[in-house]
A and B are shown apart, each in its own frame.
Chain A
Amino acid sequence: MAKIIGGLTTSHIPAVGNAIANKLFDEPYWKPFFDGYPPLRDWLDIHKPDVAINIYNDHGLGFFLNQMPTFAIGAAHEYINEDEGWGIPVLPPFPGDAPLSWHIIESMVEDEFDITSCQELPVDHGFTVPMQLFWPGLGDHPNFPRAIPISANTVQHPIPTLKRALDFGKALGRAIRSYPEDIKVVVLGTGGMSHQLDGERAGFINKEFDQMCMEKIVTDPESLTKISRRELVEKAGAQGTEFLMWMMMRGALSEKVKPLHTNYHIPISNTGAGTMLLECID
């Protein structure tokens, strides 16, 4: 049977894509951020997951406001990356795992999560930057996993509640664990942490709130479901609502997890950047 071995979180800021393209790893601005990743890569090199479930939010590449799914799951053999308009180099396609995708989709709908299935889904920086951070070199990396994108709407309100996000993750976890193949799966929760790009409050970052979230997501994720969506916007910033992806990731993991690595740095671009490695406890 498939096994979920752990969860990884990371911010997915577009500027990181440019920093990777330009190899800025040791520049003073970037070093405290990139230094957060080698321990995660070491863990991935040891455990070699076959599949990465990449939970992200599309930012206007895969979806437009004409049709905006609340939860969308990739169901393709591969996912292409495309020009997003501001200069991040376009990456080669990412191999998918369509049989596992359809198993998840069947199981999620059986579990009463009425998701949108996507046989074509161009993936943006929200998906690609974490893949680059965790598996440098992508297709050239010896342990590059197959990937399944799951996108949640944080573009347009109403966005899902934190409780719904956590519950989605729990249903996702049940779906993966019921897959009959003996594969190892990691779940990525990408995006966040606090940031606001728009309005007179642009540039808002909330270190205290981010650190509380990083603590509670390990020990007591249920307590975070009491945060309303309005409060999330207020405390995490308008785009800090991407923390929903972390909740979805967390729901898929075992009830107790071992936090093996944590890194937090302000600022990367306009954002509080958070990285975590949570290992599942059987």
Chain B
Amino acid sequence: MDITEFDHHTPIEGTTLFDGKMAMKGYQLNKMCFTFNGAAARADFLGDPEGYMTRFKLNEAQKQACRDKDVLAMIREGGNIYYLAKLAGVYKMNMQDIGAQQTGMTVDEFKEKLVRQGD
């Protein structure tokens, strides 16, 4: 049986469980992002993003998500947030920038939402 036919997990709203299915789907994307631990790799990527993505065998949907810096699309294509955070780092985006983008808020609105949950 193909692993994609098999779902071990019931859904949680607004949450993609990074399981075997997603780990297989996003392997190349995550593998590329893992290299961004290194400064030389970050510079290589910024010098030629298309060449770098091709070298890591990203598919077209993964490439487009990276071109658009679209985190939700990257997650749909199998990206894992811990590795994607390293791609975000290449673009000097932090967790509030990413959070705002994914929730359709401004960064200030997103920060306000975080603070409010402490009330």
Contact = CB atoms under 8 A, between A and B. Distances in A.
5 contacts: A64-B31, A230-B10, A230-B12, A238-B15, A266-B117
A230 B12 CA distance: 8
Given A60-B83, A239-B81, A87 B95 contact: no
Contacts of B85: 59-60, 85-86, 197
A70 B69 CA distance: 31
Nearest to B79: A198
A200 B110 CA distance: 12
Contacts of A238: 15, 17-18, 81
A76 B71 CA distance: 37
B18 A84 contact: no
Interface string A166-210: 000000000000000000000000000000111111111111000
B18 A196 contact: no
Interface of A: 15, 59-61, 64-66, 82-87, 155-158, 196-207, 230, 233-234, 238-239, 265-267, 269-270, 272
A205 B12 CA distance: 15
A205 B56 CA distance: 35
Given A59-B82, A157-B17, A157-B18, A202 B37 contact: no
A88 B96 CA distance: 17
B19 A233 contact: no
Given A206-B117, A238-B18, A270-B96, 8 more contacts: A64-B31, A85-B36, A86-B94, A155-B80, A203-B110, A233-B15, A238-B81, A267-B117
Nearest to A85: B86
Interface in B17-57: 17-20, 23, 27, 30-31, 33-34, 36-39, 42
A199 B72 CA distance: 6
Interface residues of B, number: 49
B75 A198 contact: yes
Contact of A65 (B8, B16, B80, B115): B80
Nearest to A201: B14
A85 B96 contact: no
Majority secondary structure, B binding face: helix
Given A197-B81, A205-B114, A266-B114, A86 B86 contact: yes
Contacts of B37: 60-61, 82-85
Contact of B9 (A157, A196, A270): A157
Nearest to A157: B19
Nearest to A59: B82
A84 B42 CA distance: 11
A258 to B, nearest CB: 27
A207 B115 CA distance: 11
Interface in B81-115: 81-86, 88-90, 94-96, 98-99, 102-103, 110, 113-115
A269 B82 contact: no
